[in-house]
Amino acid sequence: MKFIHLSDLHLGKKLHQVSLLEDQSYILEEILRIVDQEKIDGVLLAGDIYDRIYPPAEAISLFDSFLVRLVERKCLVFVISGNHDSPERIAFLGRLTRKAGVYLSPVYDGRITGITLEDEYGALNVYLLPFIKPAHVRHFYPQEEIIDYSTALEVAIKQMEINKEERNILVGHQFVTGAIRSDSEEISIGGLDNVAAEVFSAFDYVALGHLHRSQWVGREAVRYCGSPLTYSFSESEDSKSVTILEVREKGNLFTRQVPLTPLRRTICLRGMFTELLEKRQEEKINEEDFVRITLLDEEDIPDAFHRLALIYPGLLQLEYDNTRTRKKQELQLVQTYKELSPIELLAGFYEKMNNQPLNERQTAYLEEKLEKIWEGGEK
């Protein structure tokens, strides 16, 4: 069987207040062309379908259209909720859509049953594990010692009763230790959301979402496919793609990447103001491209943004990198520490002193104590 591994569509997202729905619609069309060219049997969609829990109507309509067109191609679809999604909204009508070959992860209830497919090599089981926190798993298994994200995932996977003689795929949405993040992702203080890659050892392939850079983690069976579009200027040098997964007999699978070409590029430019006035033609920058400019001039240029926007109509961000701004950044760093919450300060201090983050139990203990202190109930 042949699958496309997708994740982190973030439908409805904005880049510096500019809607990306047109770009997202364009890239979904490109993905559908790949589905046709590759004769794909199924799509593994690993969470963060939407950019927020309450997505705009246009984003919902776009995803609905994408699903309908996949079903028209007789393509199976496996969807889980990510940390940006509402699990209830993703799960809605899940039992009904199964009849059309669209499998939506239900709200986590402590039980995850594999969806069994059949081909010439026998049974192939797909497990849908939505984004979960330790508290979610602890609620259903209070007798288990769940102290962090890794142990929570261990318990959740243990309940799946996996037949290791058969082929097994997991679709998940977590941060695996050792993976590389980018600026467009939510970051947990102290790395409290880390999961060890070893917890996925029972699976032949782990289709992960959550991180926007495509990468293997731990072993060549645990993979982030990355987001199909650039969602921050920190990703401007990244090559976006979809991952094609071909599963044959047990122990025999192949992956490769098919590149995606966006409607508009995301470009970062650095230089002196006068240099950048002449640079657009040299760089072959289109008027539609999103642009961030970093000026190296020591003095502020009057009306620099609007003057540069005449040359770069897609200019979204302008900043300076010079002696003055570097000093300002140092002061802002000090101010940032002042703005951190008590639990964030404690988590950072603990990790610095112990070379490891607070675990879930320690964090819960500190939060309880801090709450009592603020309420005046404990000295």
pLDDT at 69 over 80: yes
Residue 193 identity:
D
Give the pLDDT of residue 335: 52
In which residue are the tokens 């259209």 written? 65
- Indicate the average pLDDT of the chain: 88
**Region 197-213: what's the mean pLDDT?**
94
Confidence class of residue 373 from pLDDT cuts 50, 70 and 90? Answer: confident
Q: Is the pTM of this model over 0.85?
A: no
Confidence class of residue 337 from pLDDT cuts 50, 70 and 90? Answer: low
pLDDT at 241 over 70: yes
d(CA 308, CA 312): 6
Instruction: Tell me the percentage of the chain whose pLDDT exceeds 70.
Output: 88
Give the pLDDT of residue 71: 97
Give the pLDDT of residue 361: 78
pLDDT at 189 over 50: no
The conformation of residue 179, written as its DSSP 8-state character, comes to: P
Give the pLDDT of residue 355: 53
Pick the residue with more confidence: 304 or 378?
A: 304
**Region 133-158: what's the mean pLDDT?**
92
Query: Within a 10 A sphere around the Cβ of 279, how many other Cβ atoms?
Result: 15
Give the pLDDT of residue 218: 81
Q: Phi, psi (5° rounding) for residue 278?
A: -105, 0
Give the pLDDT of residue 342: 74
pLDDT at 327 over 60: yes
Query: Which class for 39: exposed (0-12), middle (13-18), buried (19 or more C-beta within 10 A)?
Result: exposed
Give the pLDDT of residue 352: 60
List the one residue out of 279, 316, 320 whose CA is nearest residue 299. 320
pLDDT at 297 over 50: yes
- Pull the structure tokens for residue 80: 């889980």
List the one residue out of 30, 28, 42, 35 whose CA is nearest residue 76. 42
Query: Which class for 292: exposed (0-12), middle (13-18), buried (19 or more C-beta within 10 A)?
Result: buried
pLDDT at 270 over 90: yes
Q: What is the CA radius of gyration of the chain?
A: 23
pLDDT at 201 over 80: yes
Pick the residue with more confidence: 221 or 373?
A: 221
Helix (H) and strand (E) counts in the chain? 12, 19
Confidence class of residue 190 from pLDDT cuts 50, 70 and 90? Answer: very low
**Region 346-351: what's the mean pLDDT?**
72
Element spanning 5, H or E:
strand 2-6
Tens of pLDDT along 83-92?
999 999 999 9
**DSSP labels, 76-108:** EEEEE--TTS-HHHHHTTHHHHGGGTEEEPPPP
Give the pLDDT of residue 375: 56
- Pull the structure tokens for residue 275: 């240099």
Give the pLDDT of residue 4: 98
Q: How crowded is the C-beta side of 223, counted as CA atoms within 13 Å?
A: 25
Stretch among 142-151, 211-220, 320-329 having the lowest mean pLDDT: 320-329
Give the pLDDT of residue 357: 73
d(CA 59, CA 25): 9
75-79, 302-306, 327-331 — most confident range: 75-79
Give the pLDDT of residue 277: 85
Give the pLDDT of residue 379: 46
d(CA 1, CA 117): 9
